[in-house]
Structure 1
Amino acid sequence: MITECDVLVQGGGGAGCSAALHLAQRGVRVVLLERGLVGGQASGVNYGGVRQQGRNPAELPIARRSREIWGRLPQLLGTDAEFSVTGHLKLARSDAEEAELIAYLDVARQYDLPLRMVGRNAIHQDYPWLGPKVVAGSFAPEDGSANPRLLAPALANAARAAGADIREHAEVVEHAHDGARFLLRTKSGEEFSAPVLLNMAGFWGGRVAEVFGEAVPIVPLSPNMVVTEPLRYFVEPNLGVVGGNVYLRQIPRGNIIIGGGHGEADAAVPWSRPLPEVTMLALERAVELVPALAGAQVIRSWSGIDGQMPDRIPVIGPSRTTPGLFHAFGFSGHGFQLGPAIGAIMAELVVDGRTDIPLDPFRVDRFGTTTA
């Protein structure tokens, strides 16, 4: 027996679950197929930064729209996913890095993103717990953080309540298209058919695209993450650095979440783990930023699998080979904040045939690998 619907969504991360929700709210019969548990990979194992600052300019219209959705999560989902507007402080550790922060102010102005430069004198007055290697910073007051383990499940629950059919442990092993409808078969033998397919499968989205003649140079990306024991709460803003080799935030109960570098993974299993030598380097860099973290005990480390593109921005938009196929994958380690808006944009592409968000920079064929 084949389950038929209007739209099939492959991938149950934050973006895929958001797409299911926004489609169901517009009366579309939607089935979402997730190979594991919703939010089980990139959307649920990341750092939790809800960050607009520092993004590629092409992503900023999406990030701005997503920030508006983040602000009304309680109304949309019944939970805020522990979203906290702490601000994002991006730090410079050299003259060259400070120059990069200053240059980005012009980019931010083009997209009405509020940023405030914190100069050499003010940075240590305003944040006396910063180490001496920090020479300047850029503060984004609207940014913050959330709990990545909560967002995708909350979106999935809201989608179910709106009428979406969310299937977990439903790994898709076969794709077909007869010119009018897609037919997907799962590992358990279930079959699903719809005229529209949303490819939102993270790293594995590259394989889906390849099935339809749109191979892209995607590689797996595994963030190396750790969390410390609870400490006295004193680091209010979400911290990043120019170059992105370390980032940290403190949650209200006192734990410090630190990311930096990459773990290892085998996407065929799928399996991933952090690496101790990478963890130690991230901790050293974190202590350079915030010396008071010296001696803090790590209580857990983890990783997951995301997909990274060569230009560090995702593939978003319609297929160039197959009518009814839409892509949104390859978020390169910074898709958590974008997820709610990506779902809304995909719903617009399906139902309205258009979106106001410029998507040309994200075309699937920008790498010149698409075949008819």
Structure 2
Amino acid sequence: MGPGVDLVPSSEIFPSQAEVVVIGGGIIGVATALSLARRGIKTVLLEKGTVAAEQSSRNWGWCRRTGRDLRELPLINESMKMWEGMNRLLGRETGFRQEGIIYASRSEAQRERHLRWIEEARQHAIASEMLSPAQLSQRIPGLAGSLSGGLWTPLDGRAEPQKAAPAMAIYAMALGVNLQQYCAVRSIERSAGRVSHVVTEHGAISCQSVVVAGGAWSRLLMQGVGVDIPQLKVLSTVLRTRPVACEVKPCVSFGNVSLRKRLDGGLTIASSATNTADITPDSLRFLPSFFPAFWHERKSLQLRLGQRFIDEALRWRPGQPDKVSLYEQVRVLDPRIDPAVVSKMLCNLKRWLPSSDNVQVAQSWGGLIDTMPDAIPIISATPGVPGLFLATGFSGHGFGIAPAAGQLMADLVSGATPIVDPAPFRLARFSQGEKVQAQHWL
């Protein structure tokens, strides 16, 4: 079971038409709907379950510039400006606090890699610096173990995933967004070659444009209109503790374990070194595209062959307008986690912070990250399908970048001048023969 998420009421009246239909009530879909509503565009937001029930509430809660792919830096800079005023704009608590982020350098080679990122990021006015081991110990009271320093970005921050998207959704509704939860989209339909309406389990909604922001479901939704995107799912395990006496204010990653202070006084603990990839038919289909990323992450990525292969081989099919769809049968992806991963993260935390020996786990959960071969998102119109747009594949980076990603998506839908150059995020990069690969800095 996932973490408890702030509840959002659905709109009372089911709509028959809109200018834009956004599919997916995660933070990307919500941010897109909010940005459209602020422009006065009549928008309907559809969610097969409830707002932020999947990865948007299950992520780490980091709002970071630190160590990002350089292609994402213009977008995250804009997003951080939005986060800084988010609580004030919404009139609600998102949990955003600007306490900085640290990535510890566990070796001299990693320290050199962090230094190279700092140099490259300066062209985007990123105020990061390299901490010495002594400076690192000052920022992280009680630190043990040998480290070569740390990559430190003081203007980065954190927020609460279980609060942020719901708070944004409530504000979007106040601006006119019609939100329908427990309303799965069975199919996206076209007339004269362009998007004309969506068929939901509760009826059809006519529209001029559709934005697919379905997270790990986006590939299946796009298959329904004949568009193939190379997207896989990676399982990340996260836990939260009961309130602790912890003086560490920044978010910190030691590689094998990461921590974030929570508003409730506990910690959110996770690790980028213990992700799991279930082998599915799509894993085999996209192996050539994902192999470079897999090879780089092979030490931290555990492959698992089990029931998911059978489920996806037999059941994962695009919806049909006149039949109950998979989206209605599986409202929320709630993947099984390995308890040994939780134990390993706690042991690693104790290694770096011996004072954490007495932390009590309140809850642990898994979330499925929607990932792309180059680990940067698609925020794009869909070539060949006028009126269809796609915002997906945020590869574990989506929470922090969401406010500006939503604005960029709304810019593309409305024809406004894009907030940043959208070229790095275009869908066509996967079909134009260019070299597609991830940048590895952390």
TM-score by length of structure 1 reads: 0.93
> Which of the numbers 229, 254, 260 marks the counterpart of 1:216?
229
Cα separation, 2, equivalents of 1:294 and 1:74: 34
Cα separation, 2, equivalents of 1:110 and 1:281: 38
Q: How does 1:178-327 map to 2 (within 5 A)?
A: 178=191, 179-186=193-200, 188-241=201-254, 244-251=255-262, 253-260=264-271, 261-262=274-275, 269=330, 270-327=333-390
User: What is the one-letter code of the residue matched to 2:269?
Assistant: I
1:30 correspondence with 2:93: no
Corresponding pairs, count: 367
Q: Give the superposed CA RMSD.
A: 2.1
Kept in 2, the 8 Å contact 1:91–1:138? The answer is yes
How far is the alpha carbon of 1:252 from its aligned partner?
Answer: 5.1
The one-character-per-residue Cα deviations of 1:280-312 (angstroms, maximum 9, x if unpaired) are: 222222223222212422121012223111211
- Runs of 5+ in structure 1 lacking a partner? none
> Which of the numbers 129, 132, 146 marks the counterpart of 1:116?
129
How far is the alpha carbon of 1:152 from its aligned partner?
Answer: 1.0
Partner SS, residue 142 of structure 2: coil
Instruction: Find the counterpart in structure 2 of residue 176 from structure 1.
Output: 189
Kept in 1, the 8 Å contact 2:194–2:385? The answer is no
Kept in 1, the 8 Å contact 2:379–2:408? The answer is no
Identity over aligned residues, as a percent?
Answer: 32
Q: How does 1:42-61 map to 2 (within 5 A)?
A: 42-61=55-74
How far is the alpha carbon of 1:36 from its aligned partner?
Answer: 0.7
Cα separation, 2, equivalents of 1:84 and 1:216: 35
The one-character-per-residue Cα deviations of 1:258-277 (angstroms, maximum 9, x if unpaired) are: 01223688586333132211
User: What is the one-letter code of the residue matched to 1:343?
Assistant: G
How far is the alpha carbon of 1:218 from its aligned partner?
Answer: 0.9
Instruction: Find the counterpart in structure 1 of residue 407 from structure 2.
Output: 344
Q: Do the aligned partners of residues 308 and 58 (structure 1) sit closer, same or farther apart at CA in structure 2, a change above 3 Å counting?
A: same
Q: Do the aligned partners of residues 130 and 152 (structure 1) sit closer, same or farther apart at CA in structure 2, a change above 3 Å counting?
A: same
> Which of the numbers 424, 428, 438 marks the counterpart of 1:361?
424
Cα separation, 2, equivalents of 1:283 and 1:194: 49
The one-character-per-residue Cα deviations of 1:115-172 (angstroms, maximum 9, x if unpaired) are: 1210134323443422223220111111111110111111111111001101111111
Kept in 2, the 8 Å contact 1:233–1:253? The answer is no
Kept in 2, the 8 Å contact 1:130–1:289? The answer is yes
Kept in 1, the 8 Å contact 2:196–2:208? The answer is yes
Cα separation, 1, equivalents of 2:336 and 2:263: 27
How far is the alpha carbon of 1:245 from its aligned partner?
Answer: 4.1
Instruction: Find the counterpart in structure 2 of residue 105 from structure 1.
Output: 118
User: What is the one-letter code of the residue matched to 1:123?
Assistant: L
TM-score by length of structure 2 reads: 0.78
1:134 correspondence with 2:197: no
Q: Do the aligned partners of residues 125 and 3 (structure 1) sit closer, same or farther apart at CA in structure 2, a change above 3 Å counting?
A: closer
Kept in 2, the 8 Å contact 1:7–1:29? The answer is yes
How far is the alpha carbon of 1:317 from its aligned partner?
Answer: 1.1
Partner SS, residue 47 of structure 1: coil
Structure 1 stretch displaced more, 341-350 or 52-61: 341-350
Structure 1 stretch displaced more, 73-82 or 13-22: 73-82
Kept in 2, the 8 Å contact 1:216–1:369? The answer is no
Partner SS, residue 282 of structure 1: helix
1:66 correspondence with 2:79: yes
Structure 1 stretch displaced more, 296-305 or 245-254: 245-254
Cα separation, 1, equivalents of 2:22 and 2:165: 14
Partner SS, residue 75 of structure 1: helix
Cα separation, 2, equivalents of 1:355 and 1:65: 12
Partner SS, residue 367 of structure 2: coil
User: What is the one-letter code of the residue matched to 2:44?
Assistant: V
Kept in 1, the 8 Å contact 2:208–2:387? The answer is yes
User: What is the one-letter code of the residue matched to 2:370?
Assistant: G
Partner SS, residue 304 of structure 1: strand
Kept in 2, the 8 Å contact 1:21–1:155? The answer is yes
User: What is the one-letter code of the residue matched to 2:169?
Assistant: A
Kept in 1, the 8 Å contact 2:28–2:213? The answer is yes
How far is the alpha carbon of 1:60 from its aligned partner?
Answer: 0.8
Instruction: Find the counterpart in structure 2 of residue 163 from structure 1.
Output: 176
Q: Do the aligned partners of residues 118 and 199 (structure 1) sit closer, same or farther apart at CA in structure 2, a change above 3 Å counting?
A: same
Q: Do the aligned partners of residues 25 and 2 (structure 1) sit closer, same or farther apart at CA in structure 2, a change above 3 Å counting?
A: closer
Cα separation, 2, equivalents of 1:2 and 1:169: 14
Partner SS, residue 34 of structure 2: helix
Kept in 1, the 8 Å contact 2:380–2:427? The answer is yes
The one-character-per-residue Cα deviations of 1:177-218 (angstroms, maximum 9, x if unpaired) are: 1124332112x3411121111111111111222233331221
Q: Do the aligned partners of residues 108 and 364 (structure 1) sit closer, same or farther apart at CA in structure 2, a change above 3 Å counting?
A: same
Cα separation, 1, equivalents of 2:181 and 2:99: 34
Q: Do the aligned partners of residues 181 and 240 (structure 1) sit closer, same or farther apart at CA in structure 2, a change above 3 Å counting?
A: same
The one-character-per-residue Cα deviations of 1:81-101 (angstroms, maximum 9, x if unpaired) are: 011111101111111111111
How far is the alpha carbon of 1:324 from its aligned partner?
Answer: 1.2
Kept in 2, the 8 Å contact 1:2–1:193? The answer is no
How far is the alpha carbon of 1:369 from its aligned partner?
Answer: 8.8
